[in-house]
Chains A and B, each alone.
Chain A
Amino acid sequence: MQAYVDGKTVAFEEIYRRVSPSLFAFLLRLTRDRPRAEDLLQVTFVKVHRARSSYLLGAPLLPWLLAIARRTFLDERRMTKSRYEDLSRDGKMPEQSEPPDAVNDEVSDVLARALDDLPDNYREAIQLTKITGLSLSEAADVLDTTPTAVKLRVHRGYNMMRDKIEVLRRLRT
């Protein structure tokens, strides 16, 4: 990150290569909408670019970026909620976005669907700890809560997923 602050393009490319999949997956899991997640990813990187001189050396980079991404998502959601209309340019209602299952063909349908059905706070806790691979304290920093709360959310989300997966499996067999 210091090299990026010093103006080295290669450093930015390396950071992008390493963190963009995690950031994008996190945003996709939050939004469940690929175009929206891509927009938010761009906004996140613009914010990171603007704030690169404010990055304090030694701060954990991926949690720092994930926290910015999460706040970007929350800001965008707040703005969307306060809008009166959400129509396309021709004045019609926008078409339904792709369901997340179709977004990524490789993921296990069952697990992805169970994860997407979880409430927001459980979903983002599981995404950060189980998929992105953050520690409980790092995830707690990103979610602006305590490690105990994250542990609880993961545990409850995990139980809910387990029940859903059993139902889905039974339906399939």
Chain B
Amino acid sequence: MNVKPDPLVDLAWPKEPGPSATVSNAIHHICATDLRPAKSRNIVERVARSIALSGLLFAVLLAIGWQRHPPRHAVAVALAGALVWGIAQASVIIVGLGRVPGKRAHRWLRWTVVLAVPLAFFLHLTLASNVTLSIQDFVTAPRSIRHTVVCGVHAMIFGALSIVGLFFVWRRTDPFSPRLSGAVAGLAGGLVGAVALDMTCPHLEAWHLWIGHGLTLVALVMGGWYAGRRWLSP
């Protein structure tokens, strides 16, 4: 059998050239002159801060919502809902951001979280709705659009506040996949607004829930994806 010889075998790979002395001196001048200690936080601190921040905003939104519309179910059921949210929120943060960049969970797992959690939330909204109007009835029903916009704006504002906080905690930490990390932060932030609103909003019409509660979560995930490149990459 005629075996084709590998022409790369006897060739050495190119040696790595170094930068010129001028460039090295310039870099040393910038980076090593008057070097002061920088305050850094480890991964556990950042995860803890993320969860605490999300929890605080969630509690504030829940308190505001329950002041205007008292819980539609028994308090125990509402608290169980909050517990489920807490577990989901902590899981998203721990799986998506909870290890150092370069050693994080597999890309497919993080993508699964980013895609599956909003889908699960939509499924929950569908099951929670007690009536589904036709789209025409929904548009023409008195004040339905207004209520949907108000819910959407509230979810957006609190979600965005949470995202800003999360981006601040994780800023410049991930040069490897900042967009995906941004989407995870967007999801974690979006869950704060969307779930808290879901627990306090008295409207249970399906279109209202899908648009006013669900779409805001999707929008915030996409916003996190776009902003991640700018804010999470060094």
Tell me if A162 and B175 are in contact (CB < 8 A).
no
Q: How many residues on B have C-beta within 8 angstroms of the other chain's C-beta atoms? A: 43
Given contacts A8-B35, A45-B30, A59-B101, contact A141 B176 (CB under 8 A): yes
Return the contact of A6 from the options B12, B15, B37 (Cβ within 8 A): B37
Which residues in B have some Cβ–Cβ distance to A below 8 Å?
6-8, 11-20, 23-24, 26-28, 30-32, 35-40, 42-43, 46, 100-103, 107, 171-173, 175-177, 233-234
Q: Which residues of chain A have C-beta atoms less than 8 A from B40's C-beta?
A: 5, 52-55, 57
Tell me if A13 and B11 are in contact (CB < 8 A).
no
Looking at A80-88, A90-98, A110-118, the stretch in contact with chain B turns out to be A110-118
- 7 pairs, A vs B, C-beta closer than 8 Å: A8-B35, A12-B31, A38-B20, A42-B30, A59-B100, A64-B101, A162-B7
Q: How many residues on A have C-beta within 8 angstroms of the other chain's C-beta atoms? A: 63
Per the bound structure, the CA–CA distance linking A132 and B31 in Å amounts to 24
A49 lies within 8 A of chain B by Cβ = yes
Main secondary structure of the interface of A (DSSP, over half): helix
Listed residue (A54, A60, A68, A132) with the most chain B CB atoms within 10 angstroms of its CB:
A54
Per the bound structure, the CA–CA distance linking A20 and B37 in Å amounts to 22
A38 (CB) vs chain B CBs: closest residue: B23
Main secondary structure of the interface of B (DSSP, over half): loop
Given contacts A13-B32, A56-B43, A112-B14, contact A64 B102 (CB under 8 A): yes
Tell me if B175 and A71 are in contact (CB < 8 A).
yes
Listed residue (B7, B13, B16) with the most chain A CB atoms within 10 angstroms of its CB:
B16
| Shortest distance from the beta carbon of A30 to any chain B beta carbon, whole Å | 14
Closest 5 CB pairs of A and B: A51-B234, A107-B14, A53-B38, A25-B16, A67-B175
Given contacts A7-B35, A9-B32, contact A165 B11 (CB under 8 A): yes
Tell me if A111 and B17 are in contact (CB < 8 A).
no
| Shortest distance from the beta carbon of B1 to any chain A beta carbon, whole Å | 19
Per the bound structure, the CA–CA distance linking A12 and B38 in Å amounts to 13
Q: Which residues of chain A have C-beta atoms less than 8 A from B19's C-beta?
A: 20, 24, 37-38, 41
Return the contact of A56 from the options B32, B36, B39, B42 (Cβ within 8 A): B42
